[in-house]
Amino acid sequence: MVRVPRKLHVKKGDTVEIISGKNKNKRGKVLAVSPKKGMIIVEGVNILKKHQKPRGANQQGGIIKQEGPIYSSKAMLVCKRCNKRTRVGYQILEDKTKVRVCKVCKEVIND
């Protein structure tokens, strides 16, 4: 049985760095997030080849390269201020909003 996380530490549009596997040390933008499966799709990471038939008269078939999903635990968020990969902390501000915080430079990460 797969453990389902309640909330992922990365969101769509974040920049992440892969920390393990064949794509180790690659950086990319998060294109899609699947919290129920605990997986994310990162731009330029885990490239798969898909064989596609032509659908219709004007569409071409062939081999298409596209990104595949990876587990979110293999990716670490990259802080925009210090440009380092970091763990994510959470902080509650005075106006009762919960924000993500960089553990390296203590800067608030824009949501």
Domain regions of the chain by residue span: 1-78, 81-111
Q: Give the model's pLDDT for residue 43.
A: 95
* pLDDT given at position 5: 56
**CA distances for 81 relative to 69, 73, 84, 103, angstroms:** 27, 22, 8, 12
Residue with token string 């909330």 = 7
Note the pLDDT tens digit of each residue in 23-45. 999 999 999 999 888 899 999 99
Report the topology of domain 1-78: SH3 type barrels. (2.30.30)
What angle (nearest 5°) sits at the alpha carbon of residue 16, between those of residues 111 and 1?
95
The pLDDT-based confidence of 1 (bands split at 50, 70, 90) is low
pLDDT confidence tier of residue 61, bands split at 50, 70 and 90: confident
Q: Cβ distance 47 to 67 under 8 Å?
A: yes
0.95 exceeded by pTM: no
